[in-house]
Amino acid sequence: MNPVVTSLLQTNDAASPSDVAAIQRLLKEALGLLPAVEDEFSALAQRRKALQASIHDYETVLAPIRLLSQDILQYIFLLTLPDDRNPGMSSKESPLLVSQVCSTWRQAALTAPCLWSRLHIPIIRRNKAMLPYGGLNLTHLQAITYLQQRQRADGEEGYLKELDDHPSNSEYNRHVRKVNSVMSNRRQMVEQWLKRAGMTDLSISIVEATATFSTSQSSHTCEFGLCLSLSSKEAAPEWTRHGVDIVKILVKYASRLAVLDLGIPPQRAKPILGLSPAKVPRLRSLRLWHPGYQSVASSRHAIVGSPHIRTLRITIPAPIISGARVQWGNLVHLAVTIHTGSWYRDPKPLREFLSACQNLVVLSVVISKARAASSYQNTVVSISSALHVYSSRADSLYLAKQS
C-alpha cells in the first residue's frame, strides 16, 4: 500500500492536494483491476465446485456397499424386518422400503424369497354404525324404512336425487370409493407378495381394520357393506369381495403356511378354518384370537388338527378333550381361553384336559367369567413337563418350563 495512505489512515488529518490526486489515481487503478480479479475468483469457485462434484462421484462409485455381493445385501435386508411382528404392506418399512431405493436393491429384494415370507394383512371391518341422512342418525334398517316412505311420497327419482345431493352422503360415497380402491390394491399386493416368497414357509397375520369417514358435523365409523348409500347398491359388495378374495388367496397358498394368526371372525375365516391337516403340512403355529371365537369351539375346526402344530392359541367352551381335533400331545406352547362350562364345580375335566398335553413348555390359561376362584386355585394338575407358575389370578394362569 502507498506509504502516504498508510500514514493518513493512522490519523484524522486531511490529505494535501497533491496526495489527493495521487490517491485518486490509485483508486482508479484498483477499480479497474477488480473485475478481472472477480472473474478469476468466479472461475476458481466454479472449478472448486466441479472438483467437489467429481470427488463425490468417485467416492460414490468406490463406496463399500457397492462391493457387497447380492447374498450379503439380501441378508442385510432381512435384518431390517421387524422382529416382533409381521411386516405390513407399507412403503415406510422393509421389504417395500428397501425395494424402492434403486434398481440394484430392488433386484436384490425381489430375488430374496425369505424377505417376503412374512406378511401382515388388515381387512376392513364391518362395524355396525349410523348412516347420516338429513341431520338424522339412522341405522341401516331405519334408513331403508325411511327412504321407502319417501319413495312412496315423492317418487323414486326425487328421493334418490335428494340422497345423492346430501353433503354427508357425497362425502361418504367418496370415502367408500377410496376404500374400495385401497382394498383392491391390497388384494393385488397380497398375491404379488406371496408369489415373491417362492416356496418358503409363510408367516401370515390377518386382522380387521376400522374404516372411518368424517363430515363437517361429526366423525362416523361405518359398515361399508350395509351402511353404503342406498343409491349405490351395486357398489356395496365391492370391498367385501376383495376381503373374501384375500382369504381365498391364503387358501391357495395353504401348503406353505407355517405361522398363521387369525384376527378375523370365524365366518370370514371359514375357508381357512376348514382346511384339512393334509392341506397345511407345514403349519406349526396357529393363533385364533378374534372375539368371535369365544362363541364357538375353535378346537373343533379342521385346521387345528394338523399334527405339526407346536404353538396354539384357541378358545374352547370348556376344558374337554372329546370332539376336539387338536393333537394335544404335540403342543409345546399353548394359550387357551376357557369360555364357559361347569369345570369350576368339578375340576376333573380340567385335569384330564391338561394331562393330555404331555410336552408343554409354556401354558397360558384364561378362565372367562370364572365364578369360583378358590376351586381354580386349589386344583392340582399333574403333567409330565415341570411347569413353573409365573403368574396366577382368579381368571388366568401362566406357567412355563424352568430352564
pLDDT grade, residue 364 (50/70/90)?
confident
Query: For the residues of 348-387, what is the DSSP string, one character each?
Result: HHHHHHHHT-TT-SEEEEEETT---HHHHHH-----SS-E
Q: Over range 152-172, report the average pLDDT.
A: 53
pLDDT grade, residue 290 (50/70/90)?
confident
Kindly tell me the sign of the dihedral angle through the C-alpha atoms of 275, 277, 282, 288: positive
Q: Over range 311-321, report the average pLDDT.
A: 72
| More confident of the two residues 27 and 297 | 27
| More confident of the two residues 211 and 253 | 253
pLDDT, averaged across the chain: 75
On the question of pLDDT at 351 being above 80, the answer is no
Q: Over range 379-392, report the average pLDDT.
A: 46
Residues 6+ apart with CB under 8 A from 324: 297, 299, 300, 304, 316
Residue 325 pLDDT: 75
Taking only the tens place, the pLDDT of each residue in 187-201 is 999 999 999 999 999
Q: Over range 340-366, report the average pLDDT.
A: 70
The pTM for the full model equals 0.68
8 A C-beta contact, residue 187 and residue 248: no
Residue 219 pLDDT: 39
Q: What are phi and psi of 53, to 5 degrees?
A: -65, -40
pLDDT grade, residue 235 (50/70/90)?
very low
Strands 257-263 and 212-214: unpaired
From CA 257, how far away is CA 277, in angstroms rounded? 11
Residue 80 C-alpha cell reads as 431390517
**Chain length of the chain:** 403
Distance of CA 175 to the CA centre of its chain: 20
On the question of pLDDT at 228 being above 50, the answer is no
From CA 101, how far away is CA 40, in angstroms rounded? 41
Taking only the tens place, the pLDDT of each residue in 12-34 is 888 888 888 888 888 888 889 99
Residue 382 pLDDT: 42
From CA 28, how far away is CA 50, in angstroms rounded? 34
Q: b or e along 95-129 (b: 16 or more beta carbons within 10 Å of the residue's beta carbon)?
A: bbbbbeeeeebeebbeebebbbbbbbbbbbbbbeb
8 A C-beta contact, residue 73 and residue 105: yes
pLDDT grade, residue 80 (50/70/90)?
very high
Closest CA to 109 of 92, 90, 96: 96
Q: Which range among 101-105, 262-266, 291-295 shows the weakest confidence by mean pLDDT?
A: 291-295
8 A C-beta contact, residue 343 and residue 322: no
Distance of CA 256 to the CA centre of its chain: 21
8 A C-beta contact, residue 304 and residue 334: no
Residue 118 pLDDT: 96
Residue 257 pLDDT: 96
8 A C-beta contact, residue 208 and residue 264: yes
Using CA atoms, how far residue 182 sits from 178, 252, 348, in Å, is 6, 22, 51
Residue 368 pLDDT: 64
Residue 345 pLDDT: 57
From CA 159, how far away is CA 150, in angstroms rounded? 6
Residue 16 pLDDT: 87
8 A C-beta contact, residue 58 and residue 47: no
pLDDT grade, residue 397 (50/70/90)?
low
Between 156-165 and 167-196, two packed helices, what is the crossing angle to 10 degrees? Answer: 70
* Cis amide linkage into residue 95, ω under 30° from 0: yes
